[in-house]
Amino acid sequence: MKPALFSKILDDRSLESAIDLTGELGYGGIEIQASEPHLPPDTSHERAETIRNRLDEAGLSVPCLATYTGYYDQLTDSEAEAELETLEQYAALAEILDCKLVRHKPGGPPLRDATDDDFERAAGYVRRAADVAAEYGRTIGIEIHAGRLVETADSTMELLDLIDRQNVGVIHDAGNMCIVDAEYGRASIERLADALVHVHVKDLQRVDDPTLPDAFETETNRGEESFQFRPLGEGDVDHLPLFTALVEAGYDGYLTDECSVTPDGEDGDIDVARRELEALERTIERARSAAD
């Protein structure tokens, strides 16, 4: 397993600067935020080539292109067609960047409110997205996410079965799963099995006060709840059982750190990225020892 950094952590900097810093810090990969200021969909192919060269110089891979395309429950049919066009722009960029995985979001509603029709509509559009991505040799990554159809390993696999495409996989996200009390350890890895294509890592905790720094409110099965983003290892999300299960399953891909703690000071983002890498590497080592 190899650590990667989400470029959004460094989104006050240019993508070139984020790439250089990520390599200097010792990460093996960088998951690129596919939006302003790093990679909007109208990025020229010439610029993408320049970025690819910068990645090579930094010794970095791009395990996933983190687009914000999809959310089909919020779109009219014509808007959904436009999303597929944007996805194709990103698939072309991913090919240039030698990135195999393109994140795409089926959308909601939350699982507790979802109907069979919601699943069928999302599956139909993601199936078309997969066919677009296949033209460029790319895979669609569906991120498990709170407040969406894909809140749990089970509901995500249900959607994958409906999509019925070989080039669609799952991005595991224990932080998102923790919000909805979904199992995010060994059982989730066993349930996803070969559908698992990537892993996101972030920590958070339940809090009573939504005005705390880095806190947010969201509705869960318990009602309206507040959560606060925390540095890795300081929140409610226990990543060690997950990492141990990944080691035992033979997962050799990237773990992208998505820390959303607000940086402190001019170079606070670098401090966050450095601290997160140290915590990632410690947990990976502990997981390898536990799996032996």
Assigned token pair, 56: 């090579």
What is the mean pLDDT of the segment spanning 70-99? 97
Assigned token pair, 195: 């559908």
Chain position carrying tokens 């109208």:
42
Round to whole Å and give the CA distance between 1 and 45. 31
pLDDT score of 227: 98
pLDDT, tens only, 89-102: 999 999 999 999 99
Assigned token pair, 29: 């990969």
Chain position carrying tokens 């302003």:
36
pLDDT score of 30: 98
Assigned token pair, 259: 């820390």
Find out whether 102 and 94 touch, Cβ atoms under 8 Å. Answer: yes
pLDDT score of 52: 98
Statement: residue 292 has pLDDT above 90: no
pLDDT, tens only, 233-263: 999 999 999 999 999 999 999 999 999 999 9
Buried b (16+ CB within 10 A) or exposed e, 112-149: eebeeebbebbbebbebbbebbbeeebbbbbbbbbbbb
Round to whole Å and give the CA distance between 66 and 4. 13
pLDDT, tens only, 101-131: 999 999 999 999 999 999 999 999 999 999 9
Statement: residue 75 has pLDDT above 90: yes
Q: Residue 38 phi/psi, 5° resolution?
A: -95, -50
Q: Which pTM was predicted?
A: 0.97
Burial label for 98, CB within 10 Å (0-12, 13-18, 19+), is: exposed
Statement: residue 55 has pLDDT above 90: yes
Burial label for 16, CB within 10 Å (0-12, 13-18, 19+), is: middle
pLDDT, tens only, 129-170: 999 999 999 999 999 999 999 999 999 999 999 999 999 999
Taking the CB of residue 46, how many other CB atoms lie within 10 A of it? 9
Question: Does the N-terminal peptide bond of residue 213 adopt cis geometry, omega within 30 degrees of 0?
Answer: no
Round to whole Å and give the CA distance between 171 and 207. 26
Q: How many residues does the chain have?
A: 292
pLDDT score of 10: 97
Find out whether 239 and 258 touch, Cβ atoms under 8 Å. Answer: no
Question: Does the N-terminal peptide bond of residue 263 adopt cis geometry, omega within 30 degrees of 0?
Answer: no
pLDDT score of 149: 97
pLDDT, tens only, 158-207: 999 999 999 999 999 999 999 999 999 999 999 999 999 999 999 999 99
What is the distance, to the nearest Å, from the Cα of residue 86 to the centroid of all Cα atoms in its chain?
Answer: 18
pLDDT score of 141: 98
pLDDT score of 169: 98
Statement: residue 217 has pLDDT above 90: yes
